[in-house]
């Protein structure tokens, strides 16, 4: 098993939560290497966390141990799980956070992390990242087999986020927001490779449906400089998803894009 542990959380950068997680990892596995993917996931935003995780995992070395914690249900009956994919091993709450990562890295086996031998001696009801997930990751990095961490579960029972896939219908694809990045660009849940299978010939119109069903046509361009400063646009982002931006501005604010917004891609056949 790899000794590289990659971390993704919504813990932020102002408190010591991330440092506590790293301290547990290093105490239990002093030789492990730690890579921060991000700790800036919007608080409790599992959907955004799922997107961010999926954008990082393709670039990680094989067999990385990933601890992903965006956990609004911490301390409830939601399961804590470890999942071995084809490329990596994931430790996370079973709340849909792994939905997109496991789409590209199909699960081979999974366990519920219910063996207290591999937790800290005292497990807080509100900080499983430190007391449960980090110790399990450290033990994996030390060579403990996955199946010792808990009870085997069927990978098909893992929670998947609702509306994580776009809706394809005759001539129209309806997409929903996944994430708003640092620049205010809004990433929607349509991937270019999926769309190419649906409509391989190009010739599309992109329309943002916002508040009160207000429709805003958007040019689908290759890069920001193809539209005027301050103008809105749609483009295929660097992670392969359809994105909406404003050249020199923040699309989420300027176009008032919220969780209920819909992006329609209408094909010309």
Model pLDDT, residue 196:
85
What CATH number is given to the structural domain containing 83? Answer: 3.40.50.10790
Same domain, 95 and 182: no
Structure tokens at 36: 């921060």
Look up the domain containing 8 and give its range: 4-157
Domain boundary among 157, 175, 208: 157
- Same domain flag for 43 and 80: yes
pLDDT band at 268 (very low <50, low <70, confident <90, very high): low
pTM confidence score: 0.94
- Residue 269's pLDDT is 56
Residues 193 and 62 reside in one and the same domain: no
Q: Based on the structure, what is the number of domains in the chain? A: 2
User: Looking at the structure, do residues 61 and 123 belong to the same domain, yes or no?
Assistant: yes
CA 261 to chain centre: 19
> What was the pLDDT predicted at 202?
62
Cα-based distances in Å from 118 to 24, 56, 136, 138, 214 = 12, 27, 6, 9, 53
Does 217 map to a domain? yes
Average pLDDT of the segment spanning 235-244: 96
Average pLDDT, the chain: 94
- Higher local confidence (pLDDT), 203 or 240: 240
Decide which of 205 and 107 is more confident.
107
In a domain, 162, yes or no: no
Whether residues 135 and 27 share a domain: the answer is: yes
47-89 pLDDT, tens per residue?
999 999 999 999 999 999 999 999 999 999 999 999 999 999 9
Residues 96 and 123 in one domain: yes
What angle is formed at CA 48 by the lines to CA 45 and CA 52, rounded to 5 degrees? Answer: 135
Indicate if 125 and 73 belong to the same structural domain: yes
Which pLDDT does position 213 carry in this prediction?
72
13-to-42, 84, 158, 202 alpha-carbon distances in Å: 12, 29, 30, 43
Asked if residue 97 is part of any domain, the answer here is yes
> 151 and 209 share a domain?
no
CATH of the domain at 237: 2.40.30.90
């Amino acid at each position: 098993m790899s000794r590289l542990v990659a971390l993704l959380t919504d813990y932020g950068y102002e408190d010591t939560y991330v440092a506590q997680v790293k301290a547990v990892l290093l105490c239990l596995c002093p030789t492990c290497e730690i890579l921060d993917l991000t700790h800036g996931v919007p608080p409790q935003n599992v959907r955004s966390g799922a997107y961010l995780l999926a954008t990082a995992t393709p670039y990680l070395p094989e067999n990385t141990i990933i601890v992903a914690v965006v956990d609004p249900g911490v301390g409830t009956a939601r399961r804590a799980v470890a999942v071995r994919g084809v490329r990596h091993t994931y430790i996370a709450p079973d709340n849909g956070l792994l939905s997109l990562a496991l789409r590209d890295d199909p699960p081979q086996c999974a366990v519920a992390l219910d063996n207290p031998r591999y937790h800290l001696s005292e497990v807080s009801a509100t900080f499983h990242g430190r007391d449960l997930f980090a110790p399990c990751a450290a033990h994996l990095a030390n060579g403990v087999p996955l199946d010792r961490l808990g009870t085997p579960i069927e990978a098909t029972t893992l929670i998947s986020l609702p509306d994580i896939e776009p809706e394809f219908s005759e001539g129209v694809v309806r997409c929903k927001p996944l994430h708003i990045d640092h620049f205010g660009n809004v990433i929607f849940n349509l991937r270019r490779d999926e769309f190419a299978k649906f409509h391989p010939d190009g010739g599309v119109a992109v329309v943002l449906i916002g508040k009160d069903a207000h429709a805003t046509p958007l040019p689908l361009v290759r890069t920001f400089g193809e539209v005027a400063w301050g103008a809105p646009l749609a483009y295929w982002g660097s992670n392969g998803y359809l994105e909406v931006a404003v050249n020199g501005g923040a699309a989420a604010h300027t176009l008032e894009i919220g969780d209920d917004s819909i992006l329609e891609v209408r094909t010309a056949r």
